[in-house]
Structure formats: C-alpha cells, structure tokens
Structure 1
Amino acid sequence: MSSGDDQYDGQAPAYGHGFEARPLWSVRDRDAEQLRELLRRRGFVEFTEGGDGFVVEHPDDEGPMLLVHTRQPRSERVAAEQDYGRLLEQAGYRFAPNATGDGEGWRVRPQPAAAGDTSTDGA
C-alpha cells in the first residue's frame, strides 16, 4: 500500500509539494494547502501527533474543505475558531460554521481566484 507521499506511476505531483513535502496531486490538494499556508503565515499551528492545532481536509473533489481545531478545552477551541473566522473573511474565503455537525469547525470554499485557476485543467 502506498503512503501517498511518493510519486504515482513515476510522475511528480501535478501541483508540486506543500509544507513538509506534502504532495499536491490535485486542485483540491493545492487549494487545501493554500488555506493551510495562510493559517500558518498568520501564526496558527497545524495539528501534529505531538500537539493540537488546526486541520484542513478536503474529503471530496467537490464541495467545501473542512477546517477544525483540535485543542482542548472547548473554550480555547472556540476562541481559535473565532480567530479563523475573522481571517477567512479578511482573506476572501466563503465559509460556514458547524463543519462537524456538533457546532464546531468550518466548511470553507476555495478563494474565488483559486477556483478560477481550475478552468484550464479540464475539471
């Protein structure tokens, strides 16, 4: 089973590599990495096995990405998510709360400029 970190069929990822050599195989990978990069530039910490932080996922080829914060207690998580909301708004993202169905996280759509870039890839 491949870890997804190596090249598929000897080809490099279509959109290069992101933070910590994360392969960006698709437009969705690229869009999620752009969101992660914005959050990191603004001082937010990404989740690792050793610590809490934000997580950005894109479960489907269509629809919103998911942004959640893993920190406990809940009051700290809510405060971080409020900061995310302000940043997303300033950066021009479209988003809605309650990504997880339990009142936490965000559903985030790619920035319009990023979404417009996909017209040349036949998607």
Structure 2
Amino acid sequence: MGIMEREEERPQFGYGRGERPLWSARDRDAEVIREVLHGAGRPAFSDSEDGFAVESGDEGAPFLVACTIDEWTDAEPELQRYRVALTNARMRVEPDPEDRKTLQVWMPQTA
C-alpha cells in the first residue's frame, strides 16, 4: 500500500485534533463538540491535565461531556463554562441524571 492510503481506508470525515480518525458523522459531531470547548479555552483531559472528555455513545443518544476534575473539587463552575460554550454554539445541553460531573449534549437541528 505504501505511504498513500487507499481511498476506502480513509476516514469518511477526515481527521480531528491529534489525527483522531473521524469514521462516522457521530465521530465528526463529537469532534465539533471538542472544538467548541477548545475554542472556549477549556482543556481536554490528558495524561497530564484534567479537563473535558467527550463520549459519542450510540446513534440517537446524547453525547456525554464529562468533567474530569478530581472528586474533591466542585465541578459545577467548569460544567457551567462548558454549558455556556455549547449553548452559544446552539447545542442543547442538560445535566446527566446519572453523573453530576457529566452533561448530555445534542447537536443543533439542521434545516
């Protein structure tokens, strides 16, 4: 195959930050959420930093945006920053009833 990938092996929606492959529309939408939060100055979770993590879940289910701040720190101020950034991007945001450090996020409806 060499250096060039064959067309059918490339992710349909390209690559996101850090060369994350975006195989599906759901992967692409999760990346949009990440970019909105990065654009608002919010750090992503990594080996060296607490921050947000986005889970795409099943088709039709909301995306989950978790705040990875340690359990002894109040996550609410950071979650509020996430809420503001995401609602400004016209996304629907609600608290996750099962996890106080997680938000449920729906992409805006397109016409």
* TM-score (norm. length: structure 2): 0.85
Structure 1 stretches of at least 4 aligned residues deviating more than 2 Å after TM superposition: none
Give identity over the alignment, percent: 34
| In 2: Cα distance, 1:69 partner to 1:55 partner | 7
Name stretches of at least 5 consecutive residues in structure 2 with no aligned partner.
none
Higher relative contact order (CA 8 A, sep 6+): 2
In terms of fraction of residues, the more strand-rich structure is 2
Name stretches of at least 5 consecutive residues in structure 1 with no aligned partner.
1-6, 117-123
Contact 2:66 2:103 in 1 (8 A): yes
In terms of fraction of residues, the more helix-rich structure is 1
| In 2: Cα distance, 1:28 partner to 1:20 partner | 17
CA-atom RMSD in angstroms: 2.0
2:58 maps to 1:80: no
Q: Residue 26 of structure 1: CA displacement?
A: 0.2
The aligned residue for residue 91 of structure 1 is 89
Contact 2:68 2:101 in 1 (8 A): no
The aligned residue for residue 99 of structure 2 is 102
* TM-score (norm. length: structure 1): 0.77
Q: Residue 67 of structure 1: CA displacement?
A: 0.3
Between 62-71 and 9-18, report the one with greater CA deviation: 9-18
Residue aligned with 2:49, SS = coil
Give the length in aligned residue pairs.
Answer: 106
| In 2: Cα distance, 1:62 partner to 1:105 partner | 18
Q: How does 1:1-123 map to 2 (within 5 A)?
A: 11-72=9-70, 73-75=72-74, 77-98=75-96, 101-113=98-110
Residue aligned with 2:64, SS = strand
